[in-house]
Amino acid sequence: MQLEKTENSQSINGKYLKGIMSIFLELYATASRGYKIYFRYTAWFIADLITTPIWILVFLLPILMFLPKEQWNNPTTINFFFWAMVMWDIVGAGLWSFGQAIRREQQTGTLEFLFLTNANRIIMFTRSIFTRGLELTIMFAYMVIVFKLLFGVDIILRNILGVIFILTLGLLIAMGFGEIYGALVLRFKNIGPVTNILEFVILGISGIFFPISRLPDQIRLISLLSPFTYIAEMTRYMAMGIETYLDPGFELILMILMAIIFNAIGFVTILYIEKNLKKTGKLGAY
């Protein structure tokens, strides 16, 4: 009897170990594929380097025109805009990198082939978190130089480890948000300009370019429902020491919970929609 229990225990442990190794192999394969695709199209990377200063000028100069001239070189003001540009990249990751991943597979005609495999659906469509993390790191260093050259201001970074943690957590939240959005893309196929519209709505209500404390009470309530509000608030708190609207410990707990809940909802939603589309034969249609 004791021998039988030991054998059963070893069998269960072996299955768990095999499952964990399988997940790591899928992560490695997904990351490897993502990096190969990213470095294959070097023109995209070069285009980002060229257009980043242009985007900064296009968006920040009109804002600065409405501010007193002494604010143009104010370290706090310029740093606020710097971290806003970083947050914009997080928002873009959720909608474009993760949310449009399924759409890109539809357009290239590989979606049905991928869904025929037993690969983890979330890992399959989240290769962008690896490339987006690399891109965010490169663009962060690049924007530090650009802001220094354009405005002559050093970037404030009081707690570098805290910023890295919050940005990583922010990418996980954006990934979960993108999975939910991507599942809707899978269901409704061509969504037209919705992604562009939604991106700017999120930027407006989430306090990306200004604190939500400056918003009217009614809009502020909507802002508190946006997950990107807390990413922006906690990033500025860690980087610049700017107080958050809610208690920072509470906002951090909210971010951790959102990272878990959003990814769980996204996973279940993708499986549900995939199952229904397979029944109707519309999985790969777009």
- Does residue 69 surpass a pLDDT of 50? yes
- Does residue 49 surpass a pLDDT of 80? no
Q: Using an 8 Å Cβ cutoff, are 227 and 258 in contact?
A: yes
Range with the lowest mean pLDDT among 7-16, 43-52, 100-109, 153-162? 7-16
Confidence of residue 277 (pLDDT cuts 50, 70, 90): confident
Residue showing tokens 């095999």: 18
- Does residue 256 surpass a pLDDT of 90? yes
A 10 A CB-CB count for 186 gives 24
**What's the distance, CA 130 to chain centroid?**
11
Q: What is the mean pLDDT of residues 242-268?
A: 93
Integer CA distances (angstroms), 39 to 12, 36, 104, 134, in order: 41, 5, 18, 11
Q: What is the pTM for the complete model shown?
A: 0.82
- pLDDT tens per residue across span 122-162: 776 667 777 777 878 888 888 888 888 888 888 989 999 99
Q: What is the mean pLDDT of residues 194-219?
A: 85
Q: What is the mean pLDDT of residues 108-119?
A: 74
Amino acid symbol at 197? I
Q: Using an 8 Å Cβ cutoff, are 205 and 228 in contact?
A: no
Helices (H), 189-244: 194-205, 217-223, 227-240
CA distance 242 to 236: 6
pLDDT given at position 250: 95
CA distance 62 to 41: 33
HSE-up (13 A, CA, CB side) for residue 6:
3
- Average pLDDT value for the chain: 81
Domain boundaries, the chain: 1-40, 49-280
Confidence of residue 12 (pLDDT cuts 50, 70, 90): low
CA distance 216 to 222: 10
Residue 19: both structure tokens together: 């499952």
Confidence of residue 104 (pLDDT cuts 50, 70, 90): confident
Q: Give me the percent of the chain exceeding a pLDDT of 70.
A: 90
Q: What is the mean pLDDT of residues 229-246?
A: 93
CA distance 232 to 92: 13
pLDDT given at position 232: 94
pLDDT given at position 36: 82
Residue 239: both structure tokens together: 């980087």
What's phi and psi for 209, nearest 5 deg? Answer: -100, -5
- Between 18 and 204, name the one with better pLDDT: 204
Q: Give me the percent of the chain exceeding a pLDDT of 90.
A: 20
CA distance 65 to 74: 14
A 10 A CB-CB count for 230 gives 28
Confidence of residue 3 (pLDDT cuts 50, 70, 90): very low
pLDDT given at position 10: 53
pLDDT given at position 9: 55
CA distance 102 to 184: 10
Confidence of residue 1 (pLDDT cuts 50, 70, 90): low
Beta strands (DSSP E) in the chain are none
- Does residue 4 surpass a pLDDT of 60? no
- Between 140 and 18, name the one with better pLDDT: 140
* Range among 117-121, 139-143, 170-174, 228-232 rated most confident: 228-232
